[in-house]
Structure 1
């Protein structure tokens, strides 16, 4: 763990860290020396996730927080900074999906998708940024999607939220660059997670995806860990406003 990818002593806050992509990336950060704070709403799930990291020799703790509450993210960040001294890395990963035809999409579902996938990352970044600016260092990583740039029927609000998060990522990179705070995004393709269970079980979609993706398969959550480690480490100190796509070549092909 020596070198530019060494995260020893770093404090990494990972939202949605109890399962799926968040846990996979948190495991990668922990394996490179970071203490990971796993944030979510399901304490038993967070406890199990933290235990799995510690059993592998890493350092982790669970923290329950409702990211949709206006004041909770700021209070959580303040508490973590008091206990740990700082937050070096913020990985905004928590997200939800809701599939429905656009003409039948209810306002409540629209706002729930946008609040979770776009507003919550904005609030988290706003909460950690002041201390990062004062310290003159920090890493903010946002989990985007290939749908940040591509359109697909039945998930239009999700794409709109992730597209907004892509623009937020670049705007923050510009505003925080002079303070030596790097802000980047990871755009996964189709990964085998709980969110995509129904799609993976659909033979028509599964066949389409395998044919459409040059790698010929679904991605695995752990395959995002390397991207997260790179963007969290000194190896990316001159990389900001960038979107690192991890999609098996899907967006490179026609």
Structure 2
């Protein structure tokens, strides 16, 4: 490959000059997504509820010469979200990754648990999109990326709020992609499989569950958080300018397997 060809290839994934907002960026998948985007040249805004944890993540990025700042707010607090996003200026890439879980049989699921999960995953995605899309339309470019799940397509007992929210994210992204296509804005979702994250800690500590993962996942293991970064950069970059309305699973082959 010639130097010219290498440079052209690199430009497809270059995010220099782009501003990316990542929610749920204080740890786990969100932190890995933010690092991947920053390494590709983006100026990243790490969002979450705990300023101290965000500061620690930003400091780690600064230590590697990467551009990062923080914005502490709760994605379920409408006025706080609006104030924070307005203070950020133009957003070129929105990554909504904030999430939570409420595990219980359906008859034991509380209204508080239901609405907490729906508001954090789905309502917050609508709220953030509503705020950043007008600027993207004006500039006629933008990327909206949401974190879906295996539960966007596959059911499992005791997670009806989570599965409902993640299924909703899949269809929200599809509808948004159709609506924003004429403005050269792409909307996609990433469906992580079983990752070694804090949210999954109750399952990671269960030997029976771990054995099931090794059996059910063709890769035979949990994923490391860093393995989400490449797909995030692709969906945020010019390389994906004709990819929209998709849910891309990063799951080691789980959704491709019948076993």
Counterpart in the other structure of 2:208: 204
| TM-score, with structure 2 as normaliser | 0.95
Cα root mean square deviation, aligned: 0.9
Counterpart in the other structure of 2:51: 43
Tell me the distance in 2 between the aligned counterparts of 1:61 and 1:135: 23
Tell me by how many angstroms 1:74 deviates: 2.0
| TM-score, with structure 1 as normaliser | 0.97
Which one of 97, 122, 142 corresponds to residue 138 of structure 1? 142
List, as ranges, runs of 4+ consecutive aligned residues in structure 1 with deviation greater than 6 Å.
none
2:21 matches 1:13: yes
Equivalences, count: 250
2:97 matches 1:89: no
Counterpart in the other structure of 2:63: 55
Superposed CA deviations along residues 184-230 of structure 1, whole A, max 9, x for unmatched, are 00000010000111101100000011100000000111000000000
Counterpart in the other structure of 1:147: 151
Which one of 78, 84, 87 corresponds to residue 70 of structure 1? 78
**Gap runs ≥5 in structure 1:** none
**Gap runs ≥5 in structure 2:** 1-6
Superposed CA deviations along residues 142-183 of structure 1, whole A, max 9, x for unmatched, are 000010010000111100000001100000000011011100
Which one of 180, 193, 198 corresponds to residue 194 of structure 1? 198
Superposed CA deviations along residues 62-92 of structure 1, whole A, max 9, x for unmatched, are 11112111222222221111xxxx2110000
Tell me the distance in 2 between the aligned counterparts of 1:157 and 1:177: 30
Counterpart in the other structure of 1:79: 87
Counterpart in the other structure of 2:4: none
2:39 matches 1:31: yes
Tell me the distance in 2 between the aligned counterparts of 1:108 and 1:230: 36
